[in-house]
A and B are shown apart, each in its own frame.
Chain A
Amino acid sequence: MTTPSPTRQESLGSVRDLPTVTFGHRSLMWWGTLGFMTIEGWSLALIAAMYFYIRQNFLTWPPITIPLPSVTIPTINLVLMVASVVPAWLADRAARRLDVGAVKLWLLISTLMSLPIPILRWYELWSLNVRWDTNAYGSAAWLLVGSHATLLILDVADTVGLTLFYWFKRMPIKAMSDTSDNSFYWYFMVAIWLPVYLIVYVGPYVF
């Protein structure tokens, strides 16, 4: 048989009428985001596993002479994070409606609500009441909270950037899809914080 030469082609149809911007699982960016969520979620899971592995080396948790973590600031921050899901969700809706005004509004509110979170996170680290170089318990707790903090900062920066763009420049329509993916990523950021919060701040009280 002979192979087709690139210039001998027969069309089985045209994709001219297909859309060029889609939302959610249809868009490539959504899949990319999902990929990085998997990587980050899995990394946190591994760190949590190491946290429990280290736990076996101690009789008490936290180790004797180490005070229990304080939960006030972490709990405040937790509430703030959960609350911040609402404007993110509304921004997502607005984006799917292609309603620029609403998108700008809800992005701004998301930004205002998410900016304090990394700052509180700094005090959250110190609420562990142990230093990373005190002992392995300190190292594990700091790594678990700290690595989530890194992702958090990047995502907050993402939201802030998007908001700035929407307010100060003309955005292409496909940015609507990015906005909805940004919210998608924020849900994930809040979702993976819940187990971390329970393990690091509540856990020592329980076991």
Chain B
Amino acid sequence: MSNGIPRSKSRARSLFSTAALVASVALVLTGCSGGLGGSTDGGASAGADGEPIKLGMIAPFSGSESAFGDYMKNGAQLAVDEINKAGGVNGSQLELLTEDGACDPTTAVSAANKLVTAGVKGSVGGYCSGATLPTLPVFNDAGVVMIIPAANSNQLPAQGLDNVFLINGTGTQQAAAAVKYAQKMGATKLAVVDDNTDYSKDLAVSFTQQSKDAGLDVVLTESVNAGEKDYSANVNNVVKAMPDFVYWTGYYQEGGLITRQLRDAGYAGTILVGDGSVDKKFAEIAGAGYTDNVFATFTQTPDMLKGAEAWVASYKDQFGDEPGPYSTQSYDAVRVMAEGFKQAGSTDTKAVIDALMAIDGFQLFSGPLKFTPEHTLSSGGFAILSISEDGTFKLEDDLQG
């Protein structure tokens, strides 16, 4: 009894803590392979026969954005399976490794390091721009080429890293399509609503800027807080500003609610939503009768292309669910990456980057691919969609001419 605590308890306590320590040290020590001080295993053994080429994908599988993780993963997996069935790339099979980035920078960086450690040759993930940005240097240092399917903040190409490619249209391109449509509709008073996250805000800012340049009056920019249910206060602000055109730049979960609440509050004008809201669930959440005069900016959807029914069918067949936002982009990301490997004839970073830059006319869902010097799509391929009876989005206006 001479120390601070009763003896019997303290023994159990110390045993436990010692065990915990030993366990944690053991956990750290095992699963490690080779010291770090020496060298990183550059491009060795890449694509050797029998060894699959590993592709990494960081997407949100936990947290508030986790709904999108599976869409992306499934889309990519579909492409990997197709390519493997067709004989793989340069004689090797592809293998998809997914890691949770949780839309959190720290988690995403850990995930990136994990993928690098696992020896991925390409990254086909990246959803939240905020969490994707800090992974760029990690992949860049390791010489991993990134084809980012979803994240599209203007900050990404602005980093000027040559291993980073974006195959989602950028905010600027999407905003241009939205403004074009607003003009076409003859709207004069615009309101833009974002959800205060990086992607949405980026798009909203671009939209506001371009609207002003086009001589349109943006009467209100409103931000909502993602993850809530009641947006009546925000909706009230919108209605009071009396716009004739509202652009929602966030995701479908809130988008459906806001559309419904806008209509309930008496707003009758056009509602345009961004690509994050293009999901069958959007109409479901908004409810029947709430999707008239609602349109979306989106790169073309599967059902607008020939053979897309087959794609949707095989997606459904394999995963038992409809494809969602960024399923197509993730699918395309894998295909573009494979094409890059194929053209380069290896997985060598420099060669793949050159090969990707040389691609011209490779068919994506969003149209033929040609990268700009900034490594973004030369044309966003944005079109205007409307919502059909069953809640699916269909092509309304391709904005050509």
User: Do A and B belong to a common assembly?
Assistant: no
Residue numbers of A with Cβ under 8 A of B are none
Residue numbers of B with Cβ under 8 A of A are none
